[in-house]
Structure 1
Amino acid sequence: MRDFHQPKRSPIYAANGALATSHPMATEAGLAVLKRGGNAVDAAVTAAAVLAVVEPAMTAIGGDGFALIHQPGSPLYGLNSSGRAAAALSTEMLVGQGWTEMDDLSPHSVTVPGVVKCWESLLASHGTIGMEEALQPAIAAAESGFVVYPRVWSDWNDCASKLASQGPGGQHYLLDGAAPRMGTIHKLPALAATLKKIAKEGARGFYEGEVAADIVAELQRRGGVMTEEDLAGVSADPCTPITSGYRDIDLAELPPNGTGIIAQVILNLMERFDLKSLDPRSADRYHLEIEAARIGYAIRDAHIGDPSTMGVAAEALIDKAWAKGLAATIDPAKRNGDLPSTDPNFTSDTIYLSCVDRDGMAVSLINSVFKGFGSGIVTEKTGIILQNRGAGFRVLPGHPNTIEGGKRPLHTIIPAMAMQGDKARYCFGVMGGQYQPTGHTHVITNMVDFGMDPQEALDSPRAFWRPDGTIEIEPPLGQGVFDGLKAKGHPLDWTKSPHGGGQIIEIDHDAGVLIAGSDPRKDGCAMGY
C-alpha cells in the first residue's frame, strides 16, 4: 500500500472491466465500449485508434502493432502485425551506396505499416464490433479536434524541427513551423478523411487504392523503393507466445522479431538472486537489474531479428541452465567490465494499453511509430505519419538482423502477460523504446519480489543507459542511490526525461476484482467500473 503522505495516486479497483492507457481520451473511449457491452478487444482497438490521433509522436496508423490475448478456457493468443521492408531493399544495395548503418530519417527506414491490419485482424478474430464502429471516436477527435495534453506537447515540441525538415506533409502537425501550444485544440482533417475511408472499407482502404498510392508516391519522391504491391502484401500473423517461469508466475512474451524474450533472459538472471532481502530503492537492487540487463541486451544485439534468419532458437536463449552460468558472472559488488559470451551454443524508448473485460478476457496491446513521429515523413494528402521501424535493421552482411526485402526488423515494442497456471495475473506492458525489456523486468520484480501494487510498480523510479553506456537514473532515486551505483563502477548521470511509460491491470481471481495502474510519466489514466 502506498504512503498516503506522498503525492501519488492509488490504483483503481473495478469489478466489471478496466482499461489503462496513456491518454484520458483513449481510456474514456474504450471504457464506454466496455460499458455498452463490448469486449476487451473492442475497447482496446477503439482506444488504440484514439491514441493514433491524440498522441501522434508515439503512435499513428502508419505504425506497427503487436497483441497478446488471454481468453478464459483458451490458449494464449499472440499477434505479430509488424511490417516488412520493401521487397526491393537489400543489404547489398545499401552497402553499394556507402551505407554502414540505417538512417532513421530515410524513406528506406519506413517499413510497411502493420497497425491497421492489426486492428482489423483482432476485431475479426476476437471482437464483437467492426472497424467502422471502433474508429468513430478517433474520427471525431481528428475532425473536431483534441486538446494537446502536457506530455503529448513535450514529445511533440521535441520533434517540431524533425517534422519541418521532412517536408510539407509535416504541416498537418505544425502551426507556423512549431508544435501546437499545450492546452490548445488541434484538428487533423486529412487524417480524419483517411480514417473515414478505413472505417468504410476496412484495412483494404489503407493498403490498396488512393491511400496506398499516396504513401508510395511520398516515399518514392524521396528515393524510396516501396511499392503498392508491398503494401497490399501486408499480413497480421498469429503466433504462439513464449512462456518462461519467474518465481510463482509464468511470463508470456511474443517470439522474435520482437524482443520480449530478452525480458525473460533478464529475469532468468535476476531469479538467481535474493531480491526480497534488498531495499527496492537501493543501489544494490538497481545494480543487479542493470548488470542482468546489460547481458540481456548483448544477447539481443547478437541474435534477435526476423526468426527466418536467426541462427539460434528463441527457446535456447531463455534456457535456465545457460542463465545460471551467465548469472554467475554478475558481481553484486561491482560493474562487470567484460560481458560473458552471448552464444548459447558454447554452453548448452510507443503506446501501450491494457484492458480486461467482465468475462475475464485480457488484452495486452502495443502500437508504435518507433522514434518520435517515426521517420518524420508525413503524407501530404492523407496526413499519415510513417514509422521508421526499418531503423531497427543492421547494414551488416551475415547478421541475422541485416536488412533485406520482405524481412521484419528487430522490434522494441513488446506486450506481455503474466500467468499463474491457466489464469492471467498481470496484463501489462512498458513503453520506452530500447528500455522495454528492462521495464518488464523492473515492474515484475516490483510486484512479485517486493509486493507492490500495479500503481506502485509503475511509480517506482527507473534506471537505464544511453548509447554511450552511461546509466541515467531518474531523480526520485536520490543522491544515495546515485553515489552507491557510482561506487560500484557505473558511469552515471541524471536523466533529462523519464524512462518510458506503462500500464498494468492485475486480476485478483479470488476477490473477483481488477486492480489497475497507469504510468505517471504520461498523461494517461486507468479507469474501470
Structure 2
Amino acid sequence: MQQPVIGTKTMVVSPHYLASAAGARILQQGGNAFDAAVAVSACLAVVYPHMTGLGGDSFWLTHSRSDRAVRAYNASGRSGYRASRALYAGLTAIPQRGVRSVVTVPGMVDGWDAVLREYGTMTLAETLEPAIGYAERGFPLSRDQYRNTLQRHPVLSVMPETSAVYTPGGTVPLTGSRFVQRNLAQSLRQLAQFGRDGFYKGMLGRRIAAYLANRGGVLNADDFADHQGAWETPLRGSYKGLTLYQAPPNSQGFTGIMAPQIIEGFGFGEGGSVEHGSFAYYHLQIEALKLAFRDRDAVLTDPDFSAIPVDRLISREYCRALARRIDPARALPIKSEPVGSDTAYAAVVDGEGNAVSFIQSLYFEFGSGVTAGDTGILLQNRGSFFSLDPNHVNTLEPRKRTFHTLMPAMAFSGDAPYLLYGTQGGEGQPQTQCALLTRMVDYGMDPQSAVGAPRWVWGRTWGEEEQGLRVESRVPETVRGELARAGHLVRTVDAFDGVVGHAHAILIDGNGFRLGGADPRSDGQAIGW
C-alpha cells in the first residue's frame, strides 16, 4: 500500500495532481490555505471538468488561526424566480439533462469571492492564474475524464457547444492527449478582471442567462444578479472524544454526524468486538447510514422553506435510540432516494494552522450537458433533484435551494484541527466519511491507508430498481457472503472501483506533522513539505 505524504508545515490533497500542484504553488508564493484552496478549486474546474466547474456549487468548512473559529460557507445556488412546478406540467420529474434541468444559479464563483474576502491574502486574479494557464494551453486529459467521456458520449453529443469541447468531431479524446478549453480560459480571464460581480451582475452572467432564455430555460439575468451565498455556523457532533464539524442544511452533512454517533457504542477499535474488515465492521456502518438516510430523505431541503429538526437528529440521545434499532445480524428493509454521485473533494492546511475542507460539483457527471454558448462554462443540473410533488419536502419553488449532497468534514481534537476528510459520491459521501473516521480514529490507520482500503457504497443509482450494496472485490469473499446472507443485495465491483468515490484526507498528528492521503481510484495527489 502506498505510504502517506508527510509535511512538516503544509499539505494539499485533491483528486487531480495538477490541482494539488496549483495549491502548492500558491503556498510557495506566500499565500495561505484559503488562497491555495481557491486555486485548487478553480483548477479542478478546468482539469476535472466532468466533476466540477464554474457552472456548479460548492460547500466550504474553514478554520482560521486568527479567529480560531470553524465556519461554513454555503455556495449553493437558488432556483430562479420563474421556477415552478407549473413549468413542468405533464411531467413526473424535472428532466435530468438539457436546458430544462438548469434550474439553480451556479454558486461556486461566489464561494471563491467569499473565502478570499474573509481570509485570503491574494487577489482572485492571482489564485486563478494556474487554472487560466491549464485552460488556455491545455493539460494531459486524465484517465477519469476519459472514462466518463466515453460513458457519457451520448449526453455530450446533444448540444453542439458541449460536443465541440468534450467530443470534438464526434470522437472521445484519449487519455494523455492535450485538452484545451480556450473559451473557458477567456471566461476565467474576465472573472480575474471583473471579479465576482462580473459573473453575477456583469457580462458573463448576462451571456449565460441569454443563452438559456433563447432555449426555453428557467434562469434569467435577475436570478444571477440577486444570487448570494452565506456564512453559516457548522453543525457539531462528537466521536470518541473528537468534535465533528459538518455543513448545515441544505447540505446532508448531519448524516456525517449521525452515523458515527449511532455506531459509537458497538465496539469499534483496537480491543473492541468489531474487527476491521469483518462482517460486523461493514454491516453496522451500513445499517447506521440507512437509518440516517431515512431521516434525511424525510426532512432535507432549504431550511428557509421548511423547518429541519437537525438538533434533535444529531443529538446523542436520538442517535443512541437509533442504534437500538440495528439488528446485528440482519439488514433493515430501508430504501433511499437515488442521488447524483459526481463531485470533487479537496483540503488544504498551511504552516500557520489554517485549514480548509471543501467540496464542489456539477451534480451528475458533466452536469446538465449544457455549455453556455461560447463561455465554455458547463452548467450544473443540481436543480433537477427538486420534486414536482407539491407535498414533498423538497418540492420545487422559486428562490429555493435544493437538497444537497455536498458535505466537507473536519474533526477537531480539543481546539485544533485533527482530520480534514471528504469524498466524491452523493449517497456515498457519509458512508465513506464514516469509514475514514473509523479507520483513522479506531484502527490507527494513516490517511493513505484509510482511503486506499476496500470500500463499499449502499444505495440506488439512477435508473435502477434495486437498493444494492456495491462492495469492492478486495473485501474477502467470506465477508461478502455473510453480508448477502444477512439480507444485503451484494454486488461485487472492481478492486479499486470509482463507484465508491474518490476520498482524500489530511491528518495533523501530535507532532504537528501533516499526513496526506489521496485516493488511488482518482487522478489525485497529496503534496506537502
Q: TM-score range with shorter-chain normalisation? A: over 0.9
Q: Which amino acid letter does the alignment assign opposite residue 94 of structure 2?
A: M
CA contact (8 A) 2:243 2:413 kept: yes
CA contact (8 A) 1:170 1:376 kept: no
Aligned to 2:474, what secondary structure does the other structure show?
helix
Q: Cα deviations across residues 68-121 of structure 1 (Å, max 9, x unaligned)?
A: 111235221110010011111123443xx1222222114343210011111111
Q: Cα deviations across residues 109-136 of structure 1 (Å, max 9, x unaligned)?
A: 3210011111111111110001111111
The reply on whether 1:305 has 2:301 as its aligned counterpart is: yes
Q: Cα deviations across residues 151-202 of structure 1 (Å, max 9, x unaligned)?
A: 2221222222211123433312222223211111011111011000000000
The one of 272, 280, 283 equivalent to 2:276 is 280
The reply on whether 1:365 has 2:358 as its aligned counterpart is: yes
The one of 92, 95, 98 equivalent to 1:103 is 95
Aligned to 2:474: 476
The one of 105, 116, 120 equivalent to 2:113 is 120
Aligned to 1:343: none
Aligned to 2:501, what secondary structure does the other structure show?
coil
The one of 318, 323, 329 equivalent to 2:325 is 329
Q: Which amino acid letter does the alignment assign opposite residue 179 of structure 1?
A: V
Alpha-carbon offset, residue 26 of structure 1: 0.8
Q: Which amino acid letter does the alignment assign opposite residue 506 of structure 1?
A: L
Q: Which amino acid letter does the alignment assign opposite residue 302 of structure 2?
A: D
Q: Cα deviations across residues 463-499 of structure 1 (Å, max 9, x unaligned)?
A: 1224121111111113122111011111111136431
The reply on whether 1:426 has 2:422 as its aligned counterpart is: no
Q: Do the aligned partners of residues 62 and 216 (structure 1) sit closer, same or farther apart at CA in structure 2, a change above 3 Å counting? A: same
Q: In the aligned structure 1, how far is the partner of 2:228 from the partner of 2:251? A: 16
Q: In the aligned structure 2, how far is the partner of 1:518 from the partner of 1:123? A: 25
Q: In the aligned structure 1, how far is the partner of 2:288 from the partner of 2:22? A: 39
The one of 227, 236, 252 equivalent to 1:234 is 227
Q: In the aligned structure 1, how far is the partner of 2:397 from the partner of 2:285? A: 34
The reply on whether 1:503 has 2:504 as its aligned counterpart is: yes
Please report the RMSD computed on the Cα atoms of aligned residues, expressed in angstroms. Answer: 1.6
Aligned to 1:284, what secondary structure does the other structure show?
helix
Q: Which amino acid letter does the alignment assign opposite residue 524 of structure 1?
A: G
Q: Answer with 397-406 or 98-107: which moved more.
A: 98-107
Q: In the aligned structure 2, how far is the partner of 1:157 from the partner of 1:146? A: 18
Residues 241-260 of structure 1 aligned to structure 2 (within 5 Å): 241-260=234-253
Q: In the aligned structure 1, how far is the partner of 2:149 from the partner of 2:413? A: 40
The one of 293, 296, 300 equivalent to 2:292 is 296
> Structure 1: which 4+ aligned runs deviate by more than 6 Å?
none
The one of 181, 185, 189 equivalent to 1:188 is 181
Normalising by the residue count of structure 2, what TM-score does the alignment of the two structures yield? 0.94
Aligned to 2:8: 15
Aligned to 1:346: none
The reply on whether 1:453 has 2:446 as its aligned counterpart is: yes
Aligned to 1:203, what secondary structure does the other structure show?
helix
Q: Cα deviations across residues 314-357 of structure 1 (Å, max 9, x unaligned)?
A: 111112212222111111111123689xxxxxxxx211111000
- What are structure 2's unaligned runs of at least 5 residues? 461-465
Q: In the aligned structure 2, how far is the partner of 1:285 from the partner of 1:12? A: 27
The one of 74, 77, 82 equivalent to 1:80 is 74
The reply on whether 1:412 has 2:405 as its aligned counterpart is: yes
Alpha-carbon offset, residue 359 of structure 1: 0.2
Q: Which amino acid letter does the alignment assign opposite residue 519 of structure 1?
A: D
Q: In the aligned structure 2, how far is the partner of 1:516 from the partner of 1:188? A: 30
Residues 123-142 of structure 1 aligned to structure 2 (within 5 Å): 123-142=116-135
Aligned to 1:524: 524
Alpha-carbon offset, residue 217 of structure 1: 2.5
Residues 132-281 of structure 1 aligned to structure 2 (within 5 Å): 132-276=125-269, 277-281=273-277
Q: Do the aligned partners of residues 167 and 465 (structure 1) sit closer, same or farther apart at CA in structure 2, a change above 3 Å counting? A: farther
Aligned to 1:193, what secondary structure does the other structure show?
helix
Normalising by the residue count of structure 1, what TM-score does the alignment of the two structures yield? 0.94
Aligned to 1:157, what secondary structure does the other structure show?
helix
- What are structure 1's unaligned runs of at least 5 residues? 1-7, 341-348
Aligned to 2:437: 444
The reply on whether 1:57 has 2:50 as its aligned counterpart is: yes
Q: Answer with 271-280 or 46-55: which moved more.
A: 271-280
Q: In the aligned structure 1, how far is the partner of 2:92 from the partner of 2:514? A: 49
Q: In the aligned structure 1, how far is the partner of 2:154 from the partner of 2:401? A: 29
Alpha-carbon offset, residue 222 of structure 1: 3.0
Aligned to 1:386: 379
Q: Answer with 268-277 or 13-22: which moved more.
A: 268-277
Q: Which amino acid letter does the alignment assign opposite residue 518 of structure 2?
A: S
Q: Cα deviations across residues 413-441 of structure 1 (Å, max 9, x unaligned)?
A: 11111011211100121111221111111
Alpha-carbon offset, residue 209 of structure 1: 3.1
Aligned to 1:268, what secondary structure does the other structure show?
helix
Q: Which amino acid letter does the alignment assign opposite residue 286 of structure 2?
A: I
Q: Which amino acid letter does the alignment assign opposite residue 469 of structure 2?
A: I
Aligned to 1:353, what secondary structure does the other structure show?
strand
CA contact (8 A) 2:250 2:401 kept: yes
Q: In the aligned structure 2, how far is the partner of 1:142 from the partner of 1:333? A: 52
Q: In the aligned structure 1, how far is the partner of 2:86 from the partner of 2:426? A: 28
